[in-house]
A and B are shown apart, each in its own frame.
Chain A
Amino acid sequence: MGRYLVRRLLQMIPVFIGTTLLIFLMVYALGDPVAALFGDKAPDPATAARIRADLHLDEPLWKQYVLYMGAIFQGDFGTAFNGQPVTELMASAFPVTLRLTVVAVVIEIVVGITLGVVSGLKRGRPLDTGLLVLTLVVISVPTFVSGYLLQFLLGVKWGWISPSVSSEARFDELLLPGVVLALVSLAYVTRLSRTSIAENLRADYVRTAVAKGLPRRRVITRHLLRNSLIPVVTFIGADVGALMGGAIVTERIFNIHGVGYQLYQGILRNNSPTVVGFVTILVIVFLVANLLVDLLYAVLDPRIRYA
């Protein structure tokens, strides 16, 4: 296990360098960010040149990347164009998005797995068919549609909640955005766990457990569920990163000032320090989440061993 962990951690380094380089190239390809700073007016050449020099934009691309990575390892993610250090932006944005992600993942796990188990146990019955149709609908509706719709119904029409989230972004305010963010993944979790449960229901060890006379509840939770969760855990693990990065739409609809908001602003204004900095952190989140998923396998299924 220890050696496996070390190997995995070492593997992360090339992935990390590769992804950040790609992002860097892509943001660079968007063009010169300095022109946009001046709005509809023509940039003053001398001022623009000075800003470019300060941001190292006049250096060759490889050198910019090296300088940038060098600064990152000293904890300096650069400065956004509004004069704020990117680390400051991160400190305000990541906790908000993390809260939103936690809400979404908890909803995904609790509701998704429950529905999946119920559906899997009642395979072929009207309830199961109904859930399958429902999840299909949810998967096919884009997030911005469900987001605006729920915001309009709950926030504007019925007035149950406020249509936007305040700057503190408390947990209770994040419930609806969390649901919206979780919806699509929730449908996948339901379908995954349903199939998995339905398959394992006919497995030998379940039949044995039932034959032993174990209570139905114990058979389901200890034997059936534990073994059926592996694909679901894989999905949820990978989903944590996707949710954090994919919050752009949800955060925009509910005016949440998190990672998605900062990324959106960064892309719109061609602000490379913000975009590359945030994506770098997201890459790390992805890598760590995947590692945790792999380690969890062993806990769920002792037959899986790490050499």
Chain B
Amino acid sequence: MRGASQPTKWVACAVAVVLAASATACGGGNGAGGDGILSSSWGDPQNPLEPANTNEVQGGKVLDMIFRGLKRYDPETGEAKDMVAERIDTSDSQNFTVTLKEGWTFSNGEKVTAKSFVDAWNYAAHLDSKQNNAPFFADIVGYEDVHPEAGSPKSKTMRGLVVKDERTFTVALTDKFSTWPETLGYQAFMPLPQAFFADRAAWLDKPVGNGPYTIEAYTKGSEMRLRRWDGYQGPDKAQNAGVDLRVYTDNNTAYQDLISGNLDLVDDVPAQQLKNVEGDLGDRYINQPALIIQTLFFPFYRPEWSKPGMEKVRVGLSKAINREQITRQIFQGTRTPAKDWTSPALGEQGGYSDICGDACVFDAAEAKRLIEEGGGLPGGRITLTSNVDTGSHRQWMDAVCNSVNNVLGRGPVCTVNPVGTFADFRNQVSNARVTGPFRSGWQADYPLIQNFLEPLYYTGASSNYGKFSNQRFDALVDRANAEADEAAAVKLFQDAERILADQMPAIPLWYQNGSAGYSERLSEVKLNQFSVPVYEAIKVG
């Protein structure tokens, strides 16, 4: 009730008292927290807050505040920098020795040791733990013993993980994977204290980590209060006294709270407010590319889309989409037209480059020619599929269809198949039930070009929903993974990406930007590559 004029407040309270027939607390407000504490919007995490069970932004946000892993991605450059790790040595890109820094502890006083990592990883990979991120450990020798494809696990631990002493452990991978150490900033690889294994339920009620914040109070589904941990030894101490994360069901309400001074930080500006945001917030509005790309995947499991010659049609369709216009009119510039299959957030060095080239540029005449040369649309028509419960998916699909219909000039040959919920959509996609091009949103787990290509387009890869398969592509990815020199590896990945430009298994649509707005109390607000605010850097007052 910040800013409520006194008389109104009294009236409100009087009525409330009558209604309740009991004294209600009419004193305190629920305004922005004082004393260097900021309040921020939050969404209910989808799964319990375990490092290896969290694969979405909202839970990841908290884990990033209360945990530090071996590596951490620099919020500005995305570079994986040593955090708890002192060094990670390898001579063959396959066997690694990890040495930890001295002096790291969990906020409950336990030391962060080699065992904290090895136990956490063995737990994460074990089938009985039912962790969503278990496949992240599939590269480690012995994964199939703890996580068999069928039947019960044969072992509690993976052979490839060995504790040498308190500060050292070794990791053996099944294949060469030169950039493997750089994946270790991902939250699935965080260490866990023994307190977790002693009493998991209690730990989940109030997770304990080794990061710059500790959890003071957690009311599931509504609020989490995080406070600066003064015992934190890392280089990135919190610059504020704490963060109150408040769950909002509707990001529009969070935005209203922000502009009426009831909330300090919103990290998702709702689409319908984008017109007003400059006027409301001025330079307190952030809009920058994140590691997210939206694509239209083709179903290669359908013969009509995978037969030879169809690549012309696929490229033609890509050229028939007016990305500039759609991102400007529907997304008000919060999406950037795609020029490759990665993200500008990777940077030139990380492998972002204009590889799609002409195939991603709108050209009506050329598009029409290519589609006709390739034999036309299968059955003369296409249907685009996506869930429509979030993200203005319906609007852009309509726009893409309009674009295609205008180019072909043969009436409404492109139609939209809207799926009601994300869950249902995921279901249809993973069971290969979609018959036409379908949306695929990809948020990278770590800022590596590898993560944008291998899981999506490698033969049989975990998220290759279109069942795309190309031997040359696979070979180049294998070579890139084995390449010890980072720059050379990126080059090889880019060579692989050029095959995508020829074959067009998925049309790159646009990169999704992170958007955030904040109150006048805050300064130094930045978003990292995952479009999550860098909370520890924010200054209050």
Contact = CB atoms under 8 A, between A and B. Distances in A.
Interface of A: 30-33, 35-47, 49-51, 54, 81-84, 88-89, 92, 102-103, 106, 148, 151-152, 155-156, 159-164, 166-168, 170-173, 175, 251-255, 257, 261-262, 264-265, 267-270
Contacts of A170: 16, 24-26
A47 B127 contact: yes
Given A82-B48, A159-B3, A92 B16 contact: no
A234 B415 CA distance: 47
A43 B25 CA distance: 47
A175 B134 contact: no
Contacts of A160: 3-5, 8
A253 B421 contact: no
B175 interface: no
Interface in B407-444: 421-424, 426-428, 430, 440-443
B5 to A, nearest CB: 7
Interface of B: 1-5, 8, 12-13, 15-17, 19-20, 24-26, 29-31, 44-48, 55-56, 127-128, 130-132, 134-135, 147-150, 204, 219-223, 246-250, 252-254, 256-257, 259-263, 389, 421-424, 426-428, 430, 440-443, 455, 462-465
Given A254-B253, A255-B253, A43 B260 contact: no
Contacts of A103: 19
B249 A255 contact: yes
B255 to A, nearest CB: 9
A106 B15 CA distance: 11
Contacts of B249: 251-252, 255, 257, 261, 264-265
B253 A31 contact: no
A270 B424 contact: yes
A254 B268 CA distance: 17
B236 to A, nearest CB: 27
A106 B19 contact: yes
A172 B26 contact: yes
A144 to B, nearest CB: 10
A31 B425 CA distance: 9
Contact of A42 (B48, B219, B259, B430): B430
Contacts of B423: 30-33, 35-36, 268-270
A167 B222 CA distance: 6
Contacts of A88: 220
Nearest to B463: A42
B47 to A, nearest CB: 6
Contacts of A173: 1, 30
A35 B465 CA distance: 13
A92 B427 contact: no
User: Top 3 A-B pairs ranked by shortest CB distance?
Assistant: A36-B423, A166-B30, A270-B423
A13 B424 CA distance: 32
B339 to A, nearest CB: 21
A161 B148 CA distance: 56
Contacts of B56: 39
B262 A164 contact: yes
Contacts, number: 196
A35 B429 CA distance: 10
Given A51-B130, A164-B262, A81 B422 contact: no
Nearest to B153: A46
26 contacts: A31-B428, A32-B423, A32-B427, A35-B430, A36-B426, A39-B132, A42-B463, A44-B132, A45-B149, A46-B134, A46-B149, A49-B150, A81-B46, A82-B44, A83-B47, A155-B256, A156-B259, A162-B2, A162-B262, A168-B25, A172-B26, A254-B253, A255-B247, A255-B249, A261-B221, A262-B221
B1 to A, nearest CB: 6
Given A31-B424, A82-B46, A106-B19, 9 more contacts: A40-B442, A41-B455, A42-B465, A44-B462, A83-B47, A84-B220, A155-B260, A156-B260, A159-B4
A1 B266 CA distance: 58
Given A35-B430, A40-B440, A46-B127, A265 B422 contact: no
Contacts of B44: 82, 265
Nearest to B15: A175
A172 B250 contact: no
A166 to B, nearest CB: 3
Given A42-B462, A156-B259, A255-B253, A162 B1 contact: yes
B221 A83 contact: no
A33 B424 CA distance: 8
A32 to B, nearest CB: 5
B148 A38 contact: no
Nearest to B151: A46
Nearest to A170: B24
Contacts of B148: 46
Contact of B257 (A31, A163, A257): A163
